[in-house]
Chain A
């Protein structure tokens, strides 16, 4: 499965290369476009900074108070049954509710276990393959006045669960535990 690692390394430079070449061929003033996009990117970081400060502090408090360990201990029998690392459980749950709060937990996992550990890699892949469910659903359905959402929530939760399971399995298969 080492070609997956190779693919990961090549995919970003290759994407950048293709987009720039395509832009030049289409006659876009590429540097002007780049500057405008970069400005938007900086603005986006600036806008999420307050949320980042608030949530990273909240997660730091949870860890300092010993809550995350207590929760992981409490749920470890269930996780063991499913062969799921209990340290990742808070991330999997919070990810459904809030993307920025999940980032707080993710960076916490990175600083405790390291981004290149089994848990760090699992957490990274999990973040790539899941999405905030409750927020997205309420925004979209509220905007057109839908009250009966039918099977949407169940299917979305199922998709996220499969994403989480696939993340851990893939990381274990490619990088080992």
Chain B
């Protein structure tokens, strides 16, 4: 998918540029693209490393397990088909907790474990169960509360107040997640 997308971007860009008589701009773009990426990576490295360090402290202190425990009433509401003692619950909680904190690399393994555990409860093995649909839609609606990388990009491009969008991001994330949950609940009986 990404291979195709990248090729289309480059080919269409260059072809259009030549047709529009913008060869000089194209040359500049090739020279600047890489430079910009490296400068960006430098700014990001500082902010991301700092934040990953802080989050590691939280992980070591057992913050993720504590969060997972707090989430259990919510999970009961969202996944009524999964029995309370089933391991799927624990994996889902770990996945959500990691997503909240923006630990993408910790969220995916837990998510894969969760969907495997849900598959063991699934009666038709090639058809997604209600719980799976709910779990994936919530994952794809963004759960992250603090998007450090966006703040890093904003600061690299000279924002006067890079973090000013954090609360709006949380509010918009709530809207997208809640509408996703609502859509699943409405459609799961008819599909």
Contact = CB atoms under 8 A, between A and B. Distances in A.
B168 A36 contact: no
Contacts of A45: 41, 44-45, 48-49
Nearest to B125: A145
Contacts of B156: 107, 110
Interface of A: 4-5, 7-9, 11-12, 15-16, 19-20, 22-23, 25-26, 28, 30, 33-42, 44-46, 48-49, 52-67, 70, 94, 97-98, 101, 103, 106-107, 110-111, 114-116, 120-121, 124-137, 139-141, 143-152, 154-156, 158-160, 162-163, 166-167, 170-171, 174
Contact of A158 (B59, B162, B180): B180
Contacts of A158: 179-180, 183
A134 to B, nearest CB: 7
Contact of A20 (B16, B57, B133, B165): B57
B180 A63 contact: no
A64 B28 contact: yes
A128 B6 CA distance: 23
B150 A101 contact: no
B163 to A, nearest CB: 6
A106 B9 CA distance: 15
Given A98-B2, A115-B154, A167-B172, A44 B52 contact: yes
Given A15-B146, A64-B28, A150-B133, A53 B37 contact: yes
